[in-house]
Amino acid sequence: VGGHVLAAAILAVAALYQFSHVKVACLDRCRSPIHFIMHFGSPGMSGTLKLGLVHGLFCLGCCWALMLLLFVAGVMNLGWVAAIAAIIFLEKVAPRGRPISTAIGIVLLAVAAGLIIIR
C-alpha cells in the first residue's frame, strides 16, 4: 500500500509543478535556445561554459519533475523511459508547448488520483 501512496505523491508533485510559474518561465527559456544564446552569450571558453551551465539550469528547472518520474517509473523499464522522454521532448519542441504542459499536468493528476482510488 505504501508504494502506491508514494507513487501517487510523486505523480501529484510532478503534475502540480506543470502548472507553476517557474515551470512556464524555464520552459520558455529552454524552448528558444537561439534567443537565449543571443541575449546571454558571451565570447570565449568561459562565456560558453557559463552559457551552457545557465541554459542547463533552465532546462533542469523546466523538467526536473518529469525527470524524477523518469527515475521512479523508468528504473528497469525502457517503455516508461521512452514514453516520458517523448513527453519531455514534445513539451519542449511543440509549437504550442504550454497547452501540452497543462494537458500533461492534468493526465498526471488523474493517474495519481487513480492510484489512490484503486488501492
Q: How many residues does the chain have?
A: 119
Joined grid coordinates for residue 76: 528497469
Least confident of 28-32, 89-93, 106-110, 111-115: 28-32
Measure the CA–CA gap between 64 and 69, rounded to whole angstroms.
9
The per-residue pLDDT for range 11-49, each reduced to its tens digit, is: 999 999 999 999 988 888 888 777 778 877 788 888 888
The single residue listed with the C-alpha cell 507513487 is 7
pLDDT higher than threshold 70 for residue 100: yes
8 A C-beta contact, residue 11 and residue 69? yes
pLDDT higher than threshold 90 for residue 69: no
8 A C-beta contact, residue 62 and residue 92? yes
What SS3 state is found at 43?
coil
Q: Is the pTM of this model over 0.85?
A: no
DSSP 42: -
What local confidence, expressed as pLDDT, does residue 12 receive?
93
Over range 50-67, report the average pLDDT: 89
pLDDT higher than threshold 70 for residue 63: yes
pLDDT higher than threshold 60 for residue 1: no
Query: If 0-12 CB within 10 Å is exposed, 13-18 middle and 19+ buried, where does residue 18 land?
Result: buried
Measure the CA–CA gap between 27 and 61, rounded to whole angstroms.
8
